[in-house]
Amino acid sequence: MSEPTEQPRNATPEIERDVMEYDVVTVGAGPAGLSLAIRLKQLNPELSVCVIEKSSTIGAHILSGAVIEPGPLDALLPGWRESPPPICVPVTDDEFWFLTKTGGYKSPIVPPGMHNKGNFIVSLGAMCAWLAPQAEALGVEIYPGFAAAETLHDDSGRVIGVRIGDMGVARDGSHKPGYTAGIDIRAKVTVLAEGARGHLTKRLVKRFDLDRGSDPQAYSIGIKELWQVPAGRVCPGKVVHSLGWPLDTSTYGGSFLYHLDQDRIALGYVSGLDYRDPEYKPWEAFQQWKNHPYVASLLEGGNIVSAGARAIASGGWQSLPKVEMPGALLIGDTAGLLNVPKIKGTHQAIRSGMLAAEHLASSLSAEGFDAKLRASDAMAELRKVRNIKPGFKKGLWMGLLNAAWETATAGLSPWTLKVKADWPSLRLVDAQEPKPDYVQRTLPPRDRLAGVYFAATEHDEDQPVHLKVADPDICVTRCAEEYDNPCTRFCPAAVYEIVEDPAAEHGKRLQINAANCVHCKTCDIKDPYEIITWVTPEGGSGPNYQNL
């Protein structure tokens, strides 16, 4: 039996591990991973298929807007409308607004990409929890609480499965009384469906040089809350998007507000992580937008039910890495299939999962999947809109003008704009930087720590810190001087703090409040020195989102 090429964290090579073997193992029980598993068993019931998920329950780490296009789901489960997910509201109306500090303008035209007639507002977490038993009914084995800590490789380097992280490891690396060695799950094909900035995918992209010939991946951070509001304010099925305040015209971002049933509203804010101002706070921008008169009037007197954040892969067509390697392939948001102008990725995730299943059912090999995906409807959709997000690099107005052109021509421009990585975009801190035009907030939560409460995130305090900083000395020297420690602002969960410490060499040190982490991966993306690496904590740790 071949040994993995990398030794697991907090374990020794001598540890004897249990082994489970399957035809296909999928890492991640999101819409892509579950769709693949369902379609694979529909096509070949004899195949053994396993889905592992790091969250304690299926859907607990899933967060999205979410308005879905139903076409791929119709193809996967033709009778799904007869017994839909628990939150599934047909879209009845679309609105698009440009906001000022005290008012705004409703656009007479909704951008074509945001026409949602025939679509459904869902909770993606609830939808995944609804998909899982349908996969299990077909014979798929699903294991929540199984956090894949690393990939396994044979002597040739081919991926042969994943190793589950050890349980019961103390912060200092010692084994606690309840220590259990993580098992090895071996498979003929390993499918990475980890979502945006998956930590295994990040390693494999580097190992197999999968991003050679593609632009860097770009990201946004989406921060979302679910509210219960007083009766009479909700118009079920209404979808509202906005641009403008509280952002300046050089920062990419905007809001979504979806009217659900039972007097509930799902709302959130997306900030492009290519922002330049080191003092920018994505979480605060969201809270400011909530206190705009048009939004606050819907929320006042209501209560937050759940809240959270996640990264969104927004590079699009130019940033797609090679999605196959020996023994493994990438699907869904892991590959970066989000349609940014639509702010939709679920239909792409399901579509890519089904395509991968059809490929594996015929060959049980990753080879050839990259070409198949690039020739598919999923990539054709991304190519049409490839220039829209990069066009906003020149500011809001040029971005909107470019978006209008690209939409009118269906992406037939003879050029393709480049996508750049997010981490180098910060400019040096400037004491003369104008302060944002913000208002006094009155709506909850009062701060990020209160927001963490609504994410119901939970980590054993006595486990290894899963946020690895390669050189903490940079944080209190160069970063403090050049960027004023942006990690203390871009993290939506107040994980990073610079604290005074007379015993420290520079009189202060970086403190990592890892128990707050909601697994959004923003730090791994935006850190201007690329010294922060997010790795999976102990299985079952993290947020416990309710209907996000």
Catalytic residue IDs: 64, 310, 346, 491, 517, 520, 523
* Most distant CA atoms of the chain, gap in Å: 67
Contact 315, 256 (CB under 8 A): no
With H, G, I as helix, E, B as strand and everything else as coil, classify residue 105.
strand
Separation CA 51–CA 29 (nearest Å): 6
Structure tokens at 284: 């605060």
Two structure tokens written together for 350? 């399901």
**Cis amide bond preceding 328, omega within 30:** no
Q: Which run of H or E residues covers position 408? A: helix 396-408
43 close to 358: Cβ distance less than 8 angstroms:
yes
- Are 73 and 83 in contact by the 8 Å Cβ rule? The answer is no
What are the DSSP calls for 258-269, one per residue? Answer: EE-STTEEEEEE
CA neighbor of 332 nearest in space, from 219, 193, 218: 193
Please tell me the distance from the alpha carbon of residue 77 to that of residue 535, in angstroms, as a whole number.
34
The percent of the chain in helix, strand and coil, each rounded to the nearest 5, is 30, 25, 45
| Whether the Cβ atoms of residue 149 and residue 185 lie closer than 8 Å to each other | no
Q: Which amino acid is at 242?
A: S
Beta bridge partners of 162: 151, 185
Backbone dihedral region for residue 448 (phi beyond 0: left; psi -120 to 50: alpha; all else: beta): alpha
CB 542 within 8 A of CB 459: yes
Q: Please name the amino acid found at residue 540.
A: G
**CB 194 within 8 Å of CB 51:** no
In whole angstroms, what is the distance from residue 262 CA to residue 525 CA? Answer: 37
CA–CA distance, 222 with 313 (Å, rounded to integer): 10
Q: Beta strand pairing status for 328-330 and 184-192?
A: parallel
Q: Is the bond preceding residue 66 a cis peptide, omega within 30 degrees?
A: yes
Please give the Cα distance from 536 to 467 (Å, whole number).
Answer: 9
Could you tell me which of 377, 364, 411 has the C-alpha nearest to residue 391? 411
Extract long-range pairs of 42-46: CB within 8 Å, 24+ residues apart.
Answer: 42/138, 42/357, 43/357, 43/358, 43/361, 44/361, 45/138, 45/139
The size of the chain, in residues, is 548
